[in-house]
Amino acid sequence: MESEKKPRISNVGAWGMNIVSSVGIIMVNKQVMSSSGYGFCFATTLTGFHFTVTAIIGWISNATGYSESKQVPLWELIWFSIVANMSITGMNFSLMLNSVGFYQISKLSMIPVVCVMEWILNSKNYSNRVIMAVFVVALGVGVCTVTDVEVNVKGFICAAVAVFCTSLQQITIGSFQKKYNIGSFELLSKTAPIQAVSLLLVGPVVDYYLNGQLLLNYQFSYGAIIFILLSCSLAVVCNMSQYLCIGRFSAVSFQVLGHMKTVCVLILGWILFDSALTAKNILGMMLAVLGMVIYSWAIEFDKHTNTKASPVKLSRVEQLEEDTSLLKTKSNGIEGRDVELGQTKS
């Protein structure tokens, strides 16, 4: 019983760490980048800072022997980093070029895209219960977040690139951990330096295109530096917990249960920043939470069903083996008696 409880406690801890750090970093970044806060409107460069701190912590961890460094081909790390950076850049451009409503719809579309990609790449099938739960979650989040929807060609292309790359990134995280038997933090430590260097080089250019402001012209205050460091610290926990969750569960589960962060952000925005919270938002949040409960039940139900089905198949195979061995024993016994009778007769 104790061995069964420990994984559940650690799984809940991983989800809790991801939700708390994700919601926390959104609140901190809102203060860092908003005009009413410190006005640091360089989102891509800030992400480069995040991965720089992550890379430093990973290097310290490896140098002190706290974590083990395993071999992963360099070309796969570079390929993964390119996909991850395209995901970040695509999301930033999608938010700039599209309306908030279409941006939210594009984020919701990650769930079916991940499902389809898991089916194509890993031959993974989903039960009708899981599909229904995913639909309820997407509907609930859509009701509470989607407002106006405006689409343009450039915005649509950026959103499509962002959704595809983000989905592929999350699937690849789980695949790499299984393929190379590498832990979540060790994998993050290997990819973070590549992402940090590339984002710090490309980030200022991308941010200039997004907001027309140069990073060199920004006046860093003590408050801004403190909040940027806090954002970087939360980003380390957020990235680590993301790799941890996807390694333990799946990209689909991460997307579905991850929408709990959207609900928390809406509630905290209403409490801390006086954001509007309408009856439509509340109805959508209740529907989303219901969908998450259904999804959790569907996953557990499928696990129990598969667990019960597998012993039946094994018992049938064992029964066939037993029947075969019994027949062989009987036939050998008959042959032996015939020989003995022949010998007696002679």
Q: Are 23 and 171 in contact (CB under 8 A)?
A: no
Q: 10 Å Cβ neighbour count for 142?
A: 17
Is the pLDDT at 258 greater than 70? The verdict is no
Is the pLDDT at 228 greater than 90? The verdict is yes
Residue 323 is predicted with a pLDDT of 54
Residue 310 is predicted with a pLDDT of 53
What is the band of 119 on the pLDDT scale with cuts at 50, 70, 90?
confident
Residue 72 is predicted with a pLDDT of 84
Residue 199 is predicted with a pLDDT of 92
> Is 197 a member of any domain?
yes
Residue 247 is predicted with a pLDDT of 67
Q: Any residues with CB less than 8 A from the CB of 261 and at least 6 apart, and which?
A: 18, 19, 22, 23, 26
Q: Any residues with CB less than 8 A from the CB of 263 and at least 6 apart, and which?
A: 141, 144, 285, 288, 289
Instruction: Report the percent of the chain where pLDDT is more than 90.
Output: 10
Q: Give me the domain span that covers residue 68.
A: 2-309
Higher pLDDT, 303 or 122: 122
Q: What is the mean pLDDT of residues 198-204?
A: 91
> Is 61 a member of any domain?
yes
> Is 112 a member of any domain?
yes
Q: What is the mean pLDDT of the chain?
A: 74
Is the pLDDT at 333 greater than 60? The verdict is no
Residue 30 is predicted with a pLDDT of 80
Q: What is d(CA 193, CA 199) in angstroms, rounded to the nearest whole number?
A: 10
* Residue in 259, 193, 187, 275 with CA at minimum distance from that of residue 18: 259
Residue 8 is predicted with a pLDDT of 47
Residue 194 is predicted with a pLDDT of 92
Is the pLDDT at 226 greater than 90? The verdict is yes
**Range 218-221, long-range pairs (CB < 8 A, 24+ positions):** 218/39, 218/40, 218/42, 221/38
> Is 338 a member of any domain?
no
Residue 232 is predicted with a pLDDT of 92
Residue 286 is predicted with a pLDDT of 73
Q: What is d(CA 137, CA 225) in angstroms, rounded to the nearest whole number?
A: 38
> Is 329 a member of any domain?
no
Which amino acid is present at 169? Q
> Is 345 a member of any domain?
no
> Is 6 a member of any domain?
yes
* Buried b / exposed e along 195-229 (16+ C-beta atoms within 10 A): bbebbbeebbebbeebeeeeeeeeeeeeebeebbe
Terminal CA-CA length for the chain: 66
Higher pLDDT, 66 or 239: 239
117-126, 225-234, 269-278, 319-328: segment of lowest average pLDDT? 319-328
**Range 129-134, long-range pairs (CB < 8 A, 24+ positions):** 129/294, 129/297, 129/298, 129/301, 129/302, 130/295, 130/298, 130/299, 130/302, 132/294, 132/298, 133/256, 133/291, 133/292, 133/294, 133/295, 133/297, 133/298, 134/252, 134/256, 134/291, 134/295
> Is 64 a member of any domain?
yes
Q: What is the pLDDT of residues 152-163, one digit of tens each?
A: 787 788 888 888
Q: Are 146 and 291 in contact (CB under 8 A)?
A: no
Q: What is the mean pLDDT of residues 113-129?
A: 77
What is the band of 340 on the pLDDT scale with cuts at 50, 70, 90?
very low
Domains identified in the chain, total number: 1
Q: What is the pLDDT of residues 135-144, one digit of tens each?
A: 777 777 666 6
- Most confidently modeled of 41-50, 92-101, 206-215, 286-295? 41-50
Q: What is the pLDDT of residues 77-107, one digit of tens each?
A: 999 999 988 888 888 787 777 766 676 677 7
